[in-house]
Structures are given as structure tokens and as C-alpha cells.
Amino acid sequence: MSSESKDFISRELSWVDFNGRVLDEAMCKANPLLERMKFIAIFSGNLDEFFMVRVAGLRQLVKMERDLPDPAGNRPSFQLKQLRKKLDRLLKTQTDCLMNDLLPELAGHGVRLVHPAELAPGLRRTMSARFRAQVLPALTPLAVDSAHPFPILSSGAIEISVSMKPAGENKTVYAFVEVPDVLPRFILVTDDADGRCFMLLEELIMDNLAALFSGCEILDCFPFRVTRDMDFSVEDEGVDDLLSSIEKKLLQRRHREPIRLELPFDAQGKLVEWLEKQFDLAPMFLYRNRAPMHLKQFFELIGRAGRPELLEKPWPPIMPGGLEDYGSIFEAISRRGSILVAPPFHAFSPIVRLIEEAAADPEVLAIKQTLYRVSGNSPVVRALQHAAENGKQVTVLVELKARFDEGNNIVWARKLEESGAHVVYGIVGLKVHAKALLVVRREDGAIRRYVHLATGNYNDKTATLYTDLGIMSCDSSLGYDVANLFNVLTGYSSPPAAWNRIAVAPFDLREKVYAMIEREIASSTADNPGHIIAKMNSLSDEDMIKLLHKAADAGVKIELVVRGICCYRPKVGQENVRIISIVDRFLEHSRVFYFRNNGSEELYLSSADLMFRNLSRRIELMFPVDDERLRAVIMKLLAYQLADSDKARRLTASGKYIRPAELEKYTTKRSQQASYDYFCALAEADAKQLSGDALKVYTAPENHDDNKSGI
């Protein structure tokens, strides 16, 4: 049962509400058609991970008889029931949107999904011939009988369940066919003046099962998916070889317990009964839907539709101002001071360039970097390999415990070691989530340190999708702190009693934020209220929320931009508190913290969200932004977000979010568009080298109605 708190919202319930906001974007008619389809796919991908981790965790707590209330007063058993109610509503909305709106509209633009039975006989035979030539060799039927026990089916894969009678026998037997990920999910049937027709791979397979089970009478078949509990933890205390331990855990994932079974809405009969009996899941974890399975894979259809007019116009990434005006990136940083890099508005390439130049520069002595999530073909890792092969002292802390990227990180760690880099596999008991790059360079007979610190990962792929902020700097005190941080990460050094500029979790970051909030409380008066602005992905730390409530009760103005989970429940009448969530074209990923400090303003960027795990169980980094030009830019970005009435949803005391009015097209209040236009204006001003005009662009007063960019 629930005894809901007036101050807190349950974490898992808040996350489902966030994914509901993602789904809202699929229904927003201001978005072009294929952009709406993207949000259908994103919603499903998010939901898969949610089941694998969060739903699995709640069920495990119930099984272990640890059904205790969370800070919001809700027990895991109650949350599971509430989640099912919310998800049933959301999945119906998703299905109705896809099947009744998006796919018919897409067909009107000449891109259709067809079923085998809809094809003319000659075309259907052509598709069968293509199946035998291109698909059949990749399939492996798995029988289930006394000699073949029930197989371990892959989590998340589309499987086809088949019942049949072998030739000359009167008994029913069962088998599975996994729909292989190595083949396209959407099979092109026709591409002509009338448009493009695609068939789902599983439907092509089911239409040709006789070729796979020759001589058998096919009685029934349908596709299904099983999702498994993937939330393994590595208890690395006492583990001699963390790499081997994680490799073993990865191999065990296929054997994890099922947490969800998805079936077609119209599947019935003995085959369904047999399958449900095999998995033995409670009805709460059985899902039926009339939409196709695995909608995350609809990204493939978006890419193959060949309709760029149904997508948003691209926003080509901009080069951070001034970088191209100098012979080297080191000279640019030295001359200009700190440089802001803000992907995806900015290109990610300057970060890669910094490492590449360091790799080739004879004056560079050492490169040190943390890697949490990198892409499958990472230019960052290649640049680090090149540096090691050139004889630089390269030290890379690769976090092997980055969930769902463990295997990828193991591959890159070994490649780096083969190139001669020193690779450190995380820290016992903690995940390293800090984003830091340090280059040690010899200049004029002395040592100079260059750093890049950021809110997001060194991942060139997600840098085109996630908004993040980072700075390149050669500030000596900042460099000194980062050097000490790497000594802590790679050796046995204890953290200093006090850092010069940074704060690091779990050592003092929590205490630093506490102190700054308490300072706002102490200095706040009715005539001169304190002011906190915080932007993050998630807010769930119980003690931090209590302190923010204390600040709100003291009259501090609190403005929070929390994209995802937000467990802070605003109180009725708390007019000085405003909490919004922005879901748009890019995933909002940066963490920014502003404190008015009685007029002596402070601004910080961080890798950390205000969650217990970030503040107490991870190595996280928070660093100040002191350069006035950079501060002006970041504050401008925050102002755009706080003024957004196109994409911002406001959290109310009921725990629900208020949606913006329905839009047919976007206005100048859309913060991501305004931010992109602003960076374009800054780049143009830098290109013209009009320093006075450039300063005006940085510091222009807010007027979001004057023009598109608000500049």
C-alpha cells in the first residue's frame, strides 16, 4: 500500500513519467513525421532498459522480502502494481499513435509496411526465393524435446515460437527460431514510382517456415520477446582480477531470470499456453500488443525510408570560437584562456584534436584520461593508441562497470594495453564517472598542464545526440587539482584535505553542494532572496531533496531543470520553486549548478547528478566556470531553458507534469533552437574578429520575443 509523502516522488514512478514525456514527442505535430517515429523507438529502447534494471530490482526486493517503503512511502510491491497501470496506458498510447497515425501517414508519403498475404502471388514467390538465398542460411531452428531441453533464449531478441507435427507422426512438437540481428529487420519488397514497401523480417521467416522445417505440418507460429534481469552487480571487494570477474558476469547474462514476456495481442491456443508455462511469469509481467515487436529497431526504417523532408533540418555542428585561428590547439587555449565546448551544438572534433596533437607533439610528456562510455570505433581511443605508440606516457582509466558497455570497454582496454598504454580498470568499490583529460606539456623549460573537463562522455556518437558542456583550460590551479585526482585514481594517493578548485565525489562533492545550499539559506531575506539554478538528468538523493525543501521554505528561489527522474515533490503554494523537464531533439545531459551567493555568483559544471549513487558511490567531478565570457554563455543557455514554453513541462504538487499547449509549429521559445542560433551568432562574431560585437552577443539582455535566437 502507499502512504505517499508530500515531499517525495518514488524514483521508478518518476522515471515512467519521464518516458511518458518522451512518448509525448511522438504525438507532437510540430515534429516532422519521422522525428515522431524516432520518439516511438526511443520510448521502447528506454523501456527495455527499465525492465532489465529497475523493474527487475523491484521484483528482487519483493522476492527477498525487503518490501520496505521508499522516501515517498511506497513499497516495491505497490510500485510494481502502479508501474503496470502506468505502462498499460502508455503502451496503448504508443500503439494507437504508431498504428493509427504515424504508419498510415507514412504510407501517404509512399513508405509502407506490407504483410506477406497482401502481396501478389508472383511477388510473394520472389520474396520466398530471396528468403532461401539470403535469410535461410542465417537461421538456426532450436527443437524442444527430451533430447533438446528448453533453450536459453537471448534477452530482447525477437524469437518465433513454432508448433508442428513431424512427418509421419501424430504428436505436437515445439521449436524456436531466433530472428537474427545481423540481417535487416525491414526487408525491401518494392522500390518504384509508387514508393517503398518493406516487410518485417519475422513475417518473411514465418511465411517460409516450411523451408526450415521440411516435411513438417506447421500448426501455429508467432513472434515473441523475453526480457531478462540484467542488473548484475560486481562486488569487487576482494576480487583479484576485476576484468575476469566482469567477463564472467557478462557470460552469465544469458542465464538471468526473465522479467517480461511480450506476445502478439491475438496469439492464443495451445502454443501460447505452452510458452507461458515454460516461462512461468506472473500475469503482471506478461504484455500483449498489436504493434510490431521491438519498436526500438524502427530507427532502421527511419534511415531506410529515403524521405529527408520528413525529418528536421540538420543543425550542422559549429566549431568553438577561435580554435581555427591558431596553429595549434595548445596555442588557442593559451591565448584565449578557457574554451567552451558544447556538443552537439559544437563539433566533438576539438576534443579528438587535442589528443591527436598531444600524440604527435614532441613536447608532450604524458596524457591521462578517464573513459566511461566510448563508441564502437572511437577516434578518442585511436588517438590514445597513437600517443602510446609514439612513446608518450599514456594512462587511461577505463570504467569496466559502465552498465551495458562492459563488453565494449573490455575490448578498448585491451587494445590500449596492446599499444603500450597503462590501463587502470576502475577503483575498488566505486565507479569512475568523472570526465577528465589531462595533457602534460613542456613549455619554455617548465611544465604546463592542459585539461578538458566535461559533463558528458568521450563518445563521438552520443556527442551528436546529447547536450553536454565542457571546458578546455590551462589554468594552473585547475591542472594541479586534476593531476592530483589522477594520482588518487591510478595509485594509492589519498585525496587532499582540500582541493584548490574542484570537488570530487565521494570525498567532498556532496559536502560542497550542501554548503552552498546552506549558504543560500543563511543569506536569503525577503528583500534579497537566495537563488539556486540546477540543471541535471536526475534528482533523487533523499538528503539533498530535504535540504532543497529547507531552502525553499527559507524563501530561496529554486529553479530546477531535471530531464528525467525527479523525486522532489513541490509543495502546494511553494511559488518560489519551479521544476521543469525538457524533452526535445537532443537528450539534455549537461549538469550545471548556479548559486547567487548574495551577489558573488558561482557557477559549476559537473559529471554528477544529485543521486545517492553519484554522490556516494562514484568518482564524480564538479568544477567552477570562472571565465566571464563562458559564464555568460552558460547563463544564457539556462535562461533559454527556463523560458522554454514549447518543450518544457512543469512539475506540480500533484506529482504530474503540465504539458505545453499543442503546437503545429515551434516558436522562438524552443530552447534548443535558440541555443543553436546563439552559438551560430557567437561563431560568426568570432569569425569576424569583432571583439566588441562578440562581447555584446555574449552579454545581450534577455528578450526572447525580439527574434528567433533571443540574441
Domain contains 545: yes
Mean pLDDT, residues 232-257 taken together: 51
Same domain for 460 and 400: yes
Helix (H) or strand (E) holding 407: helix 406-418
pLDDT at 549 over 50: yes
User: Which DSSP string do the residues of 315-381 spell out, in sequence order?
Assistant: -PPBPPTTGGGSSSHHHHHHHH-SEEE-TTTB-SHHHHHHHHHHHH-TTEEEEEEEESS--TT-HHH
Same domain for 468 and 332: yes
Helix (H) or strand (E) holding 241: none
C-beta of residue 421 within 8 angstroms of C-beta of residue 396 = yes
Domain contains 498: no
Domain contains 704: no
Assigned C-alpha cell, 519: 549558504
Omega within 30 of 0 (cis) for the link into 121: no
| 436-443 vs 364-371, strand pairing mode | antiparallel
Q: Which pTM value belongs to this model?
A: 0.91
| Between 498 and 34, the higher pLDDT residue | 34
Percentage of residues of the chain with pLDDT beyond 70: 91
Residue 101 DSSP symbol: I
Confidence at 702, pLDDT banded by 50, 70, 90: very low
| Between 247 and 469, the higher pLDDT residue | 469
Give me the chain's average pLDDT, please.
90
Picking from 114, 106, 94, 38, the residue whose alpha carbon sits closest to that of residue 298 is 38
Mean pLDDT, residues 505-525 taken together: 97
Q: What is the dihedral of CA 443, 449, 454, 458, to 10 degrees?
A: 70
Same domain for 535 and 434: no
Mean pLDDT, residues 26-55 taken together: 96
How far apart are the C-alpha atoms of 75 and 293, rounded to whole Å? 31
Confidence at 280, pLDDT banded by 50, 70, 90: very high
pLDDT at 385 over 70: yes
Mean pLDDT, residues 31-36 taken together: 98
Same domain for 512 and 445: no
Mean pLDDT, residues 476-493 taken together: 92
Instruction: Specify the CATH number for the domain of residue 34.
Output: 3.30.1840.10
pLDDT digits (tens, 9 = 90+) for 447-468: 999 999 999 999 999 999 999 9
Task: From 490, 514, 544, give the residue that closes a domain.
Answer: 490
Domain contains 691: yes
- 3-state class (DSSP) for residue 209: helix
Same domain for 444 and 355: yes
Same domain for 375 and 273: no
CA distances from 230 to 54, 259, 260 (A): 10, 9, 12
Same domain for 303 and 449: no
Same domain for 444 and 299: no
Place of cell 504484455: 287
C-beta of residue 396 within 8 angstroms of C-beta of residue 371 = yes
How far apart are the C-alpha atoms of 183 and 133, rounded to whole Å? 13
Q: Which residues are CB-contacts of 251 (< 8 A; sequence separation ≥ 6)?
A: none
pLDDT digits (tens, 9 = 90+) for 592-639: 999 999 999 999 999 999 999 999 999 999 999 999 999 999 999 999
Strand pairing partners for 542? Answer: none
- 3-state class (DSSP) for residue 197: strand
- 3-state class (DSSP) for residue 460: coil
Task: From 282, 310, 338, give the residue that closes a domain.
Answer: 310
- 3-state class (DSSP) for residue 405: coil
Same domain for 486 and 601: no
How far apart are the C-alpha atoms of 210 and 515, rounded to whole Å? 70
Range of the domain at 547: 503-699
Q: Which residues are CB-contacts of 223 (< 8 A; sequence separation ≥ 6)?
A: 158, 159, 160, 161, 179, 202, 206, 264, 293
Q: How many domains does the chain have?
A: 3
| Between 66 and 521, the higher pLDDT residue | 521
For residue 692, the model assigns a pLDDT of 46
Which burial class, exposed, middle or buried, applies to 306 when counting CB atoms under 10 A from its CB (0-12, 13-18, 19+)?
exposed
Domain contains 711: no
Domain contains 37: yes
pLDDT at 529 over 90: yes
Domain contains 707: no
Instruction: Specify the CATH number for the domain of residue 445.
Output: 3.30.870.10
For residue 425, the model assigns a pLDDT of 80
Strand pairing partners for 561? Answer: 535, 580
pLDDT at 404 over 60: no
Q: What is the dihedral of CA 440, 442, 445, 447, to 10 degrees?
A: -10
pLDDT digits (tens, 9 = 90+) for 630-673: 999 999 999 999 999 999 999 999 999 998 888 888 999 999 99
Assigned C-alpha cell, 238: 576482494
For residue 363, the model assigns a pLDDT of 96
Active site members: 433
Confidence at 709, pLDDT banded by 50, 70, 90: very low
For residue 688, the model assigns a pLDDT of 74
How far apart are the C-alpha atoms of 270 and 216, rounded to whole Å? 18
pLDDT at 690 over 90: no
Same domain for 275 and 149: yes
User: Which DSSP string do the residues of 32-80 spell out, in sequence order?
Assistant: -HHHHHHHHHHHHHHHHHHIIIIIHHHHHHHHTT-----TTSB-HHHHH
For residue 186, the model assigns a pLDDT of 98
- Stretch among 11-20, 243-252, 278-287, 661-670 having the lowest mean pLDDT: 243-252
DSSP strands (E only) in 105-257 = 111-113, 141-144, 158-165, 173-178, 186-192, 195-200, 217-228
Q: What is the largest CA-CA distance in the chain?
A: 91
Percentage of residues of the chain with pLDDT beyond 90: 78
pLDDT digits (tens, 9 = 90+) for 314-327: 999 999 977 877 88
C-beta of residue 267 within 8 angstroms of C-beta of residue 222 = yes
C-beta of residue 283 within 8 angstroms of C-beta of residue 81 = no
Same domain for 366 and 240: no
Same domain for 299 and 337: no
Domain contains 5: no
